[in-house]
Amino acid sequence: MSHLPIYLDHHATTPLDARVLDAMMPYLTDRFGNAASRNHVFGWQAEEAVELARAEVAMLIGADKKEIIFTSGATESINLALKGVAEAYVSKGNHIITNAAEHRCVLDTCNHLKKLGFDITILSVRKDGTVDPDDVRKAITDKTILISIMMANNEIGSINPIQKIGEVAREKNIFFHSDIVQAAGKISVDVNDLNLDLASISAHKFHGPKGVGALFVRQKNPRIKPIAQMDGGGHEKEMRSGTLNVPGIVGLGKAAFLCKSEFDSDFWHDFNLRNKLYETIVKQLDQFHLNGAEIDSADMIKKFNSAEEASKHIRRLPNNLNISFEQTKSESIMIAMKEVAMSSGSACTSALPEPSHVLRAVGISDELAKGSLRFGIGRTNTPEEIDYVGRRLVEVVKKLRSESLHVHSS
């Protein structure tokens, strides 16, 4: 088995793929040019590398390379999408629709816009954490200018019916943004098939470097021009000023290329290991609650011709498992299993004492939410690691419950 500790927190971040680092290294050393310096070879090299990465990111999500705007990560992309569209199209309306299980970045950005006078509708979600397209339709008014619904939830892995929501948005001529951070590289993403107008992405969620991301901005049918949230030299079609992070962008592009070219093997690797861990829990523990959509069975999805096709029909990210254990606390489990990296919620909110807003949104009680654990499988995990984690988890939960029972009986 691999050396301890074992990393099972791939929704928070992923290890940098060695091939990504190799692609980045020349641009951290001798190819150090500024991509905006267009009068010498150093600048030309940098610009060429950036444009190759732009094409690689576009290919991953089915976009045109001219529709990719580089940013510092998903947080900036989401801010640019929501604030940029709100500011640019306020003359058409001031109403934005999102949902209660979104990442805090979307909810906090909407809260900021609310303070500026925008009308925000936060839809409730179904028990599995997904948004009902009919609820989106009912929420639309003649003032609605933007809908923002994440493709896959970062905590419970549930996959939203983005294509159907996009059809509603198209029908009503409303811009549609999606946080595709957890979906990109894990399930099939095609911005045209999904009817997306804007989509936010982050490199470090699929084995790229931290501090770099992208925003897809549709350029035709319809063409969108969010107002820049950072002023300066007018880089990135005047949507995001600032000297481009060439090494980071090269890393994002290489990571996207690897996800696209190795999609089948990555998908089945994550799916099989996740199901293996879940089966161990089901067989050896009771009194637990699966949070989010049901676990897709291998028999159901193996009937599809490819992993890409199969991924369009699953209800939950192939690498996600989120479970609440009764009669114990997630904090106690994590302390007892220090050799395994996992989490009790999203990385952005893990320091907060209150239960996850996502679990609250799907109706999980605060008490049960305090016993929830999120496992995120990744490219580097092995079957031996999953066997170890399964054994340890069963052992620790049983021990903690026994100790709790002993305390209460005495």
Q: Are 74 and 150 in contact (CB under 8 A)?
A: no
Q: How many CA atoms lie within 13 A of 402 on its CB side?
A: 7
- Model pLDDT for residues 181-191, shown as the tens digit of each residue: 999 999 999 99
pTM: 0.94
Across the range 395-405, mean pLDDT stands at: 89
Residue with more model confidence, 300 or 223: 223
393 falls in which pLDDT band (50, 70, 90)?
A: very high
Across the range 44-65, mean pLDDT stands at: 97
Question: Does the structure show a pLDDT above 50 at 284?
Answer: yes
CA distance 148 to 118: 14
Given this model, what pLDDT does residue 351 score?
Answer: 53
348 is catalytic: yes
Question: Does the structure show a pLDDT above 50 at 143?
Answer: yes
Question: Does the structure show a pLDDT above 50 at 347?
Answer: no
Question: Does the structure show a pLDDT above 60 at 348?
Answer: no
Given this model, what pLDDT does residue 408 score?
Answer: 55
Across the range 221-236, mean pLDDT stands at: 92
- Model pLDDT for residues 96-139, shown as the tens digit of each residue: 999 999 999 999 999 999 999 999 999 999 999 999 999 999 99
Q: For each of the domains in the chain, give its residue range(s) and CATH number, in order of start.
A: 6-14+262-409 (3.90.1150.10), 18-260 (3.40.640.10)
Across the range 238-243, mean pLDDT stands at: 88
Residue with more model confidence, 350 or 225: 225
- Model pLDDT for residues 246-265, shown as the tens digit of each residue: 999 999 999 999 999 999 99
Quote the tokens at residue 389: 């984690």
Q: Which of 105, 110, 259, 348 is catalytic?
A: 348
CA distance 149 to 169: 11
CA distance 86 to 110: 10
Dihedral sign for Cα atoms in the order 144, 356, 7, 270: negative
Residue written as tokens 């957890």? 182
- By percentage, how much of the chain surpasses pLDDT 90? 89
Question: Does the structure show a pLDDT above 90 at 350?
Answer: no
Q: What does the mean pLDDT of the chain come to?
A: 94
CA distance 201 to 338: 30
CA distance 77 to 150: 13
Q: How many CA atoms lie within 13 A of 311 on its CB side?
A: 25
Cα-trace Rg, the chain: 22
Is-cis flag, bond preceding 383, omega within 30? no
What's 290-305 look like in SS3?
ECCCCCCCHHHHCCCC
6 falls in which pLDDT band (50, 70, 90)?
A: very high
Given this model, what pLDDT does residue 305 score?
Answer: 87
CA distance 71 to 74: 8
